[in-house]
Amino acid sequence: MPPILLASSSPYRAQLLAKLNLPFIQASPELDETHLPHEVPESLVKRLSLAKAEALSETYPEYYIIGSDQSLCAPNGEILGKPHTVENAIQQLSLLSGNRVTFFTGLSLISPKSCSESMAKQTVVVPFIVHFKELSKAEIEAYVRAEMPLDCAGSFKSEGLGISLFEKLEGEDPNSLIGLPLIKLCQLFSNVGINPLLMQKTSTKP
């Protein structure tokens, strides 16, 4: 089984990756995630997802390393990341209320240094469209108090009560909203000869 490293301390991404039933470890990269001047969300997540994986490649040279990053652009042009505070979360959801927003997830897979250079670094960006309901101030404040989505880009948890904020979702993979687009990850794995379906251990009864 090839060793796999998730370059993130996020429990949400770990829960998603665990769905593939492949053994992996986690490590958090030390990285400045500030966006560059005039950088758009799609470019930001592409750059940061690869940077997160690259930041750990020297420490874990024989691992397949997964990096991921998320961002979206509010209707006023502001790039929204993790809110970190209740006040920021309320402000973000107020900006998103009643709007159609494209949420971008960057995904990178770095192969071990001993592997072929042709697929050494793979990076993709997965878009997902979210249609927000018209939300009252009371609804936004109640939601933030209930789930405290302070470590989630856009200030919502679509796998929980956050689903009640939406009118409609459009995209290839709803897992991308939570933090890790598994359909695309399986494709990147396939490009380097990793097939999760063929790497499952057969269960045996005692």
The pLDDT value given to residue 80 = 87
The pLDDT value given to residue 67 = 98
Q: Are 96 and 71 in contact (CB under 8 A)?
A: no
Q: Strand, helix or coil at 141? A: helix
Mean local confidence (pLDDT), 51-80: 93
Whether pLDDT at 3 is above 80: yes
Mean local confidence (pLDDT), 167-194: 94
> CA distances (Å), 48 to each of 34, 44, 71, in order?
9, 6, 10
Pick the catalytic residue from 32, 69, 151, 173. Answer: 69
Q: Name the band, by pLDDT with cuts 50, 70 and 90, for residue 117.
A: low
pTM of the predicted structure, to 2 decimals? 0.89
Residue spans per domain, the chain: 4-198
Geometric angle at alpha carbon 19, from 159 and 168, rounded to 5°:
30
Which positions ≥6 away from 22 have C-beta within 8 Å? 1, 4, 196, 199
**CATH says 4-198 is which class?**
alpha beta
Q: Show the tokens assigned to 173.
A: 């993979």
CB atoms within 10 A of CB 141: 16
Question: What percentage of the chain has pLDDT greater than the value 70?
Answer: 96
69 annotated active-site: yes
The pLDDT value given to residue 32 = 86
- Least confident interval from 10-19, 116-125, 150-159: 116-125
Q: Name the band, by pLDDT with cuts 50, 70 and 90, for residue 199.
A: confident
